[in-house]
């Protein structure tokens, strides 16, 4: 298996895996999974900074992290109009907040359902950590649903620790899950 930077030719498969993995959250953000698929395809076709894919014959995993605010708000305002674009970008910012100086935020790590538990997630996370270190990032953080045992296990295996737990009705209303861990790794 090889991990490399996202290329335009990978976007359709990468977005398919992202939608399969986060359909509940994407439905909460966009109220329409097909709209989410279309917008994610457009966004990642133009924006691939700090995005990686794992391939084993075809794309089997997709990951993204940020060291600065991603241009998602401007993109969503253009695609959805001002009001809906702002609302949607605020929901995304809730789970993928702008990193502070010297920090990185892991936006997502997703693996094709048929390739889970085969090391794909570990390979992607290892590449993110390596890339972040090369760029001088001092810490990485990510929000993980308390119900996501595989995600919690993956981050823990790499030394991430639970910094705090979010427990609020806003997350439950918009993402279908009330409790989320903020996990952090000092690099």
Convert the pLDDT of each residue in 73-84 to its tens digit.
999 999 999 999
Report the alpha-carbon distance of residue 47 to residue 172 in Å, rounded. 29
Convert the pLDDT of each residue in 111-121 to its tens digit.
999 999 999 99
Q: Does the pLDDT of residue 170 top 80, yes or no?
A: no
- Give me the chain's average pLDDT, please: 94
pLDDT at position 173? 81
**117-145 average pLDDT score:** 97
Report the alpha-carbon distance of residue 83 to residue 89 in Å, rounded. 10
**25-45 average pLDDT score:** 94
Percent of the chain exceeding pLDDT 90 equals 77
Number of domains in the chain: 1
The CATH number given to whatever domain includes residue 79 is 3.40.630.30
Q: Hey, is 74 helix, strand or coil? A: helix
Q: Taking Cα atoms as reference points, which of 111, 187, 175 lies closest to residue 143?
A: 175
Q: Does the pLDDT of residue 175 top 90, yes or no?
A: no
Q: Does the pLDDT of residue 166 top 90, yes or no?
A: no
Is the pTM value of this prediction over 0.85? Answer: yes
Report the alpha-carbon distance of residue 20 to residue 110 in Å, rounded. 9
pLDDT at position 167? 87
97 secondary structure, DSSP code = P
pLDDT at position 165? 92
Please state whether 102 falls in left (phi above 0), alpha (psi between -120 and 50) or beta: left
Q: Does the pLDDT of residue 18 top 90, yes or no?
A: yes
Convert the pLDDT of each residue in 36-64 to its tens digit.
999 999 999 999 999 999 998 899 999 99
135 secondary structure, DSSP code = T
pLDDT at position 14? 98
Residues 167, 178 contacting (CB under 8 angstroms): yes
Instruction: Give 97's pLDDT tier (boundaries 50, 70, 90).
Output: confident
Q: Which domain holds residue 6?
A: 2-186
Determine which helix (DSSP H) or strand (DSSP E) holds 181, and give its type and residue range: strand 179-186
């Amino acid at each position: 298996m090889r991990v490399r930077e996202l290329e335009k030719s990978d976007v359709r498969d990468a977005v398919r895996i992202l939608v399969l993995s986060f359909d509940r959250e994407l439905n909460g953000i966009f109220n329409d999974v097909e709209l989410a698929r279309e917008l994610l395809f457009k966004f990642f076709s133009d924006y691939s900074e700090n995005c990686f894919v794992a391939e084993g014959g075809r794309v089997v995993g997709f990951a993204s992290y940020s060291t600065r605010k991603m241009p998602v708000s401007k993109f969503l305002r253009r695609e959805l109009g001002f009001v809906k674009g702002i609302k949607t970008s605020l929901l995304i910012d809730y789970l993928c907040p702008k990193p502070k100086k010297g920090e990185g935020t892991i936006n997502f790590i997703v693996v094709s359902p048929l390739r889970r538990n085969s090391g794909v997630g570990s390979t992607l996370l290892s590449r993110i950590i390596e890339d972040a270190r090369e760029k001088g990032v001092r810490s990485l953080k990510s929000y993980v649903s308390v119900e996501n045992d595989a995600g919690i296990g993956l981050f823990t295996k790499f030394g991430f620790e639970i910094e705090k737990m979010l427990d609020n009705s806003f997350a439950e209303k918009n993402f279908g899950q009330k409790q989320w861990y903020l996990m952090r790794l000092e690099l």
